[in-house]
Structures are given as C-alpha cells and as structure tokens.
Amino acid sequence: MQIYENNFVENENVSQENIPKEIDADDEDFYNNLANDYLHVKIGRKQEKLEEYISAYDSLKNKDSFNAHYLRSLIDQLRTELS
C-alpha cells in the first residue's frame, strides 16, 4: 500500500479494472431506488421509536422525573428529524 502526499492511497490488492468508469441509466435507477428504500426504512424505524417513546412517556405518572424529561427530549428530537 502506498500513501501519497494528497492522502491518496493506492492498494495493490484492488484491481483498477473492476472500478466502473461511468454509471449507466440502469445503474443510476438502481442506486436511486436503493437510496429511496433505505430512507423509507430509516424513517419508518424512527416513527416506530417515536410512537414507543410517546407511549412510554404517557404511561409515566411523574412527568417531572428524570425519565420523563429524557423521554421528552427523545420525542422532541425525533419529531424534529421527521419534520
């Protein structure tokens, strides 16, 4: 492995011929769909967590406790991320 001044690393174990030079339309569609599906799953998981945290917060009797404040901050953070 060679490390050059501009932090470029050349690894002799990586074949340069396997690195695609251009992305064709089919590849671009594939990567776009993959990214969209990933984002939908990530958003879905955050929504599930948000519902779980809201349920846990609502079940607390003492809304002034540390746990309540912690859950409230998680809820606010997730709502901000999802908006």
73 within domain boundaries? yes
C-alpha angle 33/37/43, rounded to 5°? 145
21 within domain boundaries? no
Per-residue model confidence as pLDDT tens for the chain (83 residues): 444 455 555 555 656 666 656 667 778 888 889 999 999 999 999 999 999 999 999 999 999 999 999 999 999 999 999 99
For residues 49 and 78, the answer to whether their CB atoms sit within 8 Å is yes
Quote the radius of gyration of the chain (alpha carbons, Å): 23
Total number of domains in the chain: 1
Non-local CB neighbours of 20 within 8 Å, separated by 6+ positions = 27
What domain range includes position 65? 45-83
In whole angstroms, what is the distance from residue 67 CA to residue 75 CA? 12
